[in-house]
């Protein structure tokens, strides 16, 4: 059951990415799994090339530091040729309506004056990422469910129209920490694109900064520690985070705390300890750029080798070449 999942270097990797995605990938990894830094996906909105390059490097280091084997991590653009080819095939398998219906597209497009075409077609490239590697499982946060569903549809459609070549993938959503919320605004998810928000804890934040951000987390005026995401989203989010760091469920934890202050202290310390080894290892890796480049090349070779036969078959079946 090969798994594939990625993280977009649209900002620094944060606690939501870590608990909902990266830490799980590392904990459950199998030899066939592949994880990647989706730098091409970061181009769907305005960005700076030099920042993208730096964040790609940093994100790659974080994944390795979190415990994913170096030959199981690659950078998307190292396969730009293969992905570009399959992307076109899949764009021509997908309808305009299917792409325009994506919630993420509607949300992100709504915030902008000028919408890049790539923001609309992004799910086709994501489907290419998945189908090219023959992934059957795609571990994602709940925000990516719909995109994996589309990849599924496109795989089936291509297979039945042109011939069997793609494995049909399915999304697996984390049972816990699938949607960590922004600490300063618990009505929205913690996101890289929120930039330097005080509600976003970054994996590389120094302990004191983590402490300050958690202490300032928005709660409510009910005054009781309960796990009730609808009524008490801020408090429930803290319980969710604490539970994920301690590998336990948020329900049981609620009874252990009688004040918001105590819950915040416990959460801050748990987050700091959870992130410490990743932060320290990432710094070491970034200090040795040559070794990092060699790791990146190894991952790219492995991913490209795995992709090649499937890409050739798909192009042939589509009537190309």
Q: Which residues bind ligand ATP (CB under 6 A)?
A: 5, 7-8, 10, 16-17, 20-21, 140-141, 143-144, 177-180, 189-193
Alpha-carbon gap, residue 130 to 124, rounded angstroms:
10
Alpha-carbon gap, residue 254 to 211, rounded angstroms:
20
Closest approach, Cβ 257 to ligand ATP, in A, equals: 22
Residue 153 or 197 having the CB closest to ligand ATP: 197
Residue 175 or 319 having the CB closest to ligand ATP: 175
Q: Which residue in the list 189, 213, 264, 283 is annotated as catalytic?
A: 189
Q: Are strands 4-7 and 185-189 parallel, antiparallel or unpaired?
A: unpaired
Residue 38 or 93 having the CB closest to ligand ATP: 38
With beta carbons less than 8 A apart as the criterion, state whether 139 and 21 touch. Answer: yes
With beta carbons less than 8 A apart as the criterion, state whether 299 and 70 touch. Answer: yes
With beta carbons less than 8 A apart as the criterion, state whether 81 and 312 touch. Answer: no
Is position 264 annotated as part of the catalytic site? Answer: no
Closest approach, Cβ 313 to ligand ATP, in A, equals: 28
Residue 220's nearest CA partner among 182, 260, 274 is 260
Three-state DSSP class for 321?
coil
**Strand-by-strand arrangement of the 4-7 sheet:** 4-7, 34-37, 73-75
Q: Which residue in the list 192, 213, 264, 283 is annotated as catalytic?
A: 192
Is position 213 annotated as part of the catalytic site? Answer: no
**What string of DSSP letters covers 21-82?**
IIHHHHHH--TT-EEEE-TGGGGGS---HHHHHHHHHHHHHHHHHTT--GGGEEEGGGGHHH
Three-state DSSP class for 161?
helix
Closest approach, Cβ 67 to ligand ATP, in A, equals: 16
Three-state DSSP class for 11?
coil
- Residue 177, both tokens: 């920490």
Residue 134 or 186 having the CB closest to ligand ATP: 186
Closest approach, Cβ 227 to ligand ATP, in A, equals: 16
Any idea what DSSP says for residue 18? I
Closest approach, Cβ 104 to ligand ATP, in A, equals: 7
Residue 123 or 314 having the CB closest to ligand ATP: 123
Q: Which residue in the list 106, 108, 213, 283 is annotated as catalytic?
A: 108
Residue 40 or 191 having the CB closest to ligand ATP: 191
- Residue 138, both tokens: 């795609």
Closest approach, Cβ 278 to ligand ATP, in A, equals: 15
CB-based burial label for 196 (10 Å; 0-12, 13-18, 19+): exposed
Catalytic residues: 108, 189, 192
């Amino acid at each position: 059951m090969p798994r594939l999942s990625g993280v977009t270097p649209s900002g620094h990797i944060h606690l939501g990415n870590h608990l909902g995605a990266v830490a799980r990938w590392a904990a459950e990894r199998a030899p066939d799994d592949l994880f990647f830094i989706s730098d091409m996906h970061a181009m769907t909105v305005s960005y700076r090339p030099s920042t993208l390059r730096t964040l790609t490097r940093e994100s790659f280091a974080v994944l390795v530091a979190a415990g994913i084997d170096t030959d199981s991590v690659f950078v998307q653009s190292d396969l730009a040729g293969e992905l570009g080819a399959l992307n076109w095939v899949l764009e021509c398998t997908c309808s305009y309506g299917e792409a325009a219906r994506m919630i993420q597209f509607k949300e992100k497009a709504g915030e902008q004056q000028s919408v890049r075409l790539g923001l609309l077609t992004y799910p086709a490239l994501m489907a290419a990422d998945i189908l090219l590697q023959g992934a059957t499982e795609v571990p994602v946060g709940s925000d990516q469910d719909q995109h994996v569903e589309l990849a599924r549809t496109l795989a089936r459609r291509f297979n039945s129209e042109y011939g069997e070549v793609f494995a049909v993938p399915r999304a697996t959503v984390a049972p816990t920490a699938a949607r960590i919320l922004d600490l300063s605004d618990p009505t929205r998810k913690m996101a890289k694109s929120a930039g330097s928000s005080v509600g976003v804890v970054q994996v590389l934040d120094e302990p004191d900064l983590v402490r300050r951000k958690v202490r300032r987390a928005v709660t409510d005026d009910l005054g009781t520690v309960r796990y009730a995401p609808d009524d008490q989203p801020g408090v429930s989010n803290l319980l969710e985070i604490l539970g994920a760091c301690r590998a336990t469920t948020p329900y049981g934890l609620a009874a252990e705390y009688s004040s918001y202050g105590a819950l915040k202290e416990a959460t801050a310390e748990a987050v700091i300890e959870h992130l410490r080894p990743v932060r320290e290892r990432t710094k070491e890796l970034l200090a040795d750029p040559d070794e990092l480049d060699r790791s990146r090349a190894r991952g790219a070779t492995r991913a490209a080798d795995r992709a090649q036969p499937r890409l050739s078959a798909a192009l042939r079946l589509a009537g190309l070449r």
